[in-house]
Amino acid sequence: MSRDSFNEATISGVRWVMLSRVVGETFAFVCIVLLARLVSPAEFGHAAVALIFVPLAGILTFEGFASALVQRETIDESHRQVATLMSLLGGLVLTLLVLALTPIAWRPIFGAQTAGLIALVSPVFLIASFGTVSRAMLWRKLDFRRMSLIEVAATAVGNVIPVGLALAGFGATAIVVGALAQTALTSVLLFAASPFPLPRWHWRSQRDIGGFGIAAALAGLVDVLFRNAGYGILAAQLPAAQVGIYYRAFNLGVIYQEKLSSVMMQLAFPVYSRTESRAEMRALHERASRVHAAVIFPLLASLIVLGPVLIPFVLGPAWTPSVRPAQILAVAGMVAAVLTGYPQVMLAVGRPRALLHFNVGMLAVYAVAIALAAQHGLIAVSSAVVVVYLIILVGVYRFLLQRHIGISVGRLLPEIGPAVAGCLALAAVGEPLRHLLEPRLGGFAVLAITGCAGLFAYCLALRLVSRATWTDLRTLAALVFAPLPMPRALRRRAAGAPAPATQP
């Protein structure tokens, strides 16, 4: 791919992924609000453990059996055939394994209801495996437009179904079935966009795929466990309602920002894999981190300021106990936003084993911290999460990014400093204003006035502190919200040009 084509594909990718994420997550948020009012915290607590297996399915089947198709400079048909075979077999084996462990492990640890939901979600591994090679080929072509349209459609279906089932009284089952439906539609649409070949075995190609994929899959597995292990650990120690409260708080503080961060994550691996030098990758990652922090930090700072009004008003009074944990976890969300993209960097430079070793240590520290803090309540758990995330941030830059591409913590601080300064201005304006208005106005008015004032203060401070960051945000906004280009076929038709002849 030429440099001009690469830049054009990257810019187009940013636009399509951003637009699809905004549309998809706006629709999903409406459905989440409805679910929060239809399904109790205890039911969410049961579903939270089963939902751990959904991202696991995507990571294990894609990273393990198809990510090498994106990372390698050259591939042939045998690589695709082997990746297809390994992915389908891997998905089947993992589905059967999770199902077989239901009476042996899941029921004794989590109870009958949660174990039943895990059994229900177990086919997600096989379902996800049908889309792995197709996803890899679309990523390899940097076809982010098609990927974005697929994800918007799947997100819509995956959020409408659980709302309908919840209205019919299915509770936690509705949430799990919705996740299965979203995964299934994603795989179907991926296959329609880029069909995979018939599976066949090739020893040489298997070594190429497996040598990279096994370490990448294990690293991804540990990363998913890190982000979801808290639910399982708490489910084994606390009542389901407490787990549901923590699930909601963690989603608000950490997971929802990751939905926006997924824009960077979707672009990062294929784009980093196509950079021509470490210096180009370093510059790209540093600029992405600066813009990323500038976009994510004010949203999380607004959650900290507005949480006491926002959460009960939007989700309902049953979720009020999640306010304080969500405020604390929003700090972890900021750290997570800074960390976004480091696994993709390590995969792009061909260092999945280094990533795996680091992630194993990260998971061990996190699990011990959660298990010890669980004895002291959700506030202690949330505080422990923030401390662990800060430790991980230092470790990522010291042992991974600095060692392999030359980015140190010292280089990071100037990139996120403007966003931090803007958040301090947001809090300085928003916190007293919320306390002033809350006794006098209704929830919507408090949220609207305080939120707008805080974001105005953030933008003003950002522009004063760092004109470069402000310019980057304006460029991003212009890029995302500019009119979308007309597809090539329509441009040819409008110009009266004949369509290109198809190859026999």
Each residue's pLDDT tens digit in the chain (504 positions)? 444 454 455 555 555 566 666 666 677 778 888 888 888 899 989 998 899 899 888 888 877 777 777 767 777 788 888 888 888 988 899 999 999 999 999 999 999 999 999 999 999 999 999 988 888 888 777 777 788 788 888 888 888 899 999 999 898 999 999 999 999 999 999 999 888 888 887 777 777 666 666 766 777 778 788 878 888 899 989 999 999 999 999 999 998 777 666 555 555 545 555 566 777 777 777 777 788 888 899 999 999 999 999 999 999 999 999 999 999 999 999 998 888 777 777 777 778 788 888 888 888 999 999 999 998 999 999 999 999 999 999 999 888 888 887 877 777 788 888 999 999 999 999 999 999 999 988 889 999 999 999 999 999 999 999 888 888 788 767 765 655 454 454 445 444 444 444 333
Q: Which residues of 439-475 are buried (b: 16+ CB within 10 A; e: fewer)?
A: eeeeeeebbebbbebbbebbbebbbebbeebbebbee
Q: Do 127 and 158 contact (CB within 8 A), yes or no?
A: no
CA gap 326, 340 in Å, rounded: 20
* Residue 370 burial class via C-beta count within 10 angstroms: exposed 0-12, middle 13-18, buried 19 and up: buried
Predicted local confidence at residue 53, as pLDDT: 92
Q: In whole angstroms, how far apart are CA 369 and each of 109, 314, 375? A: 19, 31, 11
Structure letter (DSSP) for residue 374:
G
Q: What angle do CA 227, 231, 234 make, to 5 degrees?
A: 130
Select from 436, 429, 473 the least CA-distant residue to 291.
473
CA gap 96, 191 in Å, rounded: 23
Q: What 3-state DSSP class applies to 52?
A: coil
Q: What angle do CA 41, 229, 222 make, to 5 degrees?
A: 150
Q: In whole angstroms, how far apart are CA 3 and each of 10, 141, 148, 202? A: 10, 14, 23, 33
Select from 289, 312, 295, 256 the least CA-distant residue to 24.
256
pTM of the model: 0.76
Predicted local confidence at residue 503, as pLDDT: 39
CA gap 295, 289 in Å, rounded: 10
